Amino acid sequence: MRRPRAKVNVVAHASDRAIDIVGENYDLAVRAHFDRLPESNLVQRTLAPAPWFLFAGAGHLKANGTPKTSQDLRNHPSLFMTRSSVEPVWRLRHARRKRDEVVVPLTPRLLSDDMVGLQQAAIKGLGLVALPAYVCRAAVRSGVLQRVLPDWLAGEATLTALIPYRQGLLPSVRALLESVSGPRSRSPAFQLGIALQDRSKCRTATRSSPKRNPQR
């Protein structure tokens, strides 16, 4: 007689650190990255591009004016997202004229690896910041944060789903993976964060408990 399957609780988790998906018993992780992910035995599925834009608090722009050109950025304090081996500059690329690029050297007022903290600092009026669009979606909708130089990109990451194995996925995990990897995932709505909420380096995952044997 086949034993009943143990009850599985699916939880969502967000972390700044690199999750050990297999060792910590995660079913699915979503990571945002600029460079190629390191080689591993994990199954990778590219979901969507994750464009970065420039943002500023509505109060800051009201008091100091809105930059009209990339040269105007030098007149505003900057907040910078620190990443390994990345110098504090903004490398802007025109959204339509792909060959148009501008490098803006920075002397940041604030350096941090916490996207949420940088977003809050921008809302408080401490300066301009480059962040992924989906991180700032709610703040932009509420009006406390505004996009600056909307014709320019401040970078473009990639959202990739990682799963530990191809077989034995929970139906709920499979459904989630299909929903975020379909045509909808490439729409502007997805890129602005309807499907995903980020914290810091956008390492999110779903975890099941207890540990399952994928061969069963």
Q: Report pLDDT for 4.
A: 42
Q: Are 56 and 129 in contact (CB under 8 A)?
A: yes
Cβ atoms of 51 and 132 closer than 8 Å: yes
Digitized pLDDT (tens) for each residue of the chain, 216 residues in all: 333 444 444 445 555 556 666 766 777 777 777 677 777 777 777 777 888 999 999 999 999 999 999 999 999 999 999 877 788 999 999 988 877 899 999 999 999 989 899 999 999 999 999 999 888 999 999 999 999 999 999 988 787 887 887 666 777 777 777 776 665 555 544 444 433 333 333 344 445 444 444 433
Question: What single letter denotes the amino acid at residue 126?
Answer: L
CA-closest candidate to residue 113, choices 36, 4, 198:
198
- Whole-model pTM? 0.68
Which pair of structure tokens corresponds to residue 216?
């069963």
Decide if 216 contacts 8 (C-beta within 8 A): no
Rounded to the nearest 10°, the torsion over CA 106, 109, 115, 120 is -140
Q: What angle do CA 54, 186, 159 make, to 5 degrees?
A: 65
Q: What is the pLDDT of residue 184?
A: 53
Q: What phi, psi does 89 have (nearest 5°)?
A: -140, 155
Residues 6 or more apart whose Cβ sits within 8 Å of residue 169: 27, 163, 177
pLDDT at 162: 79
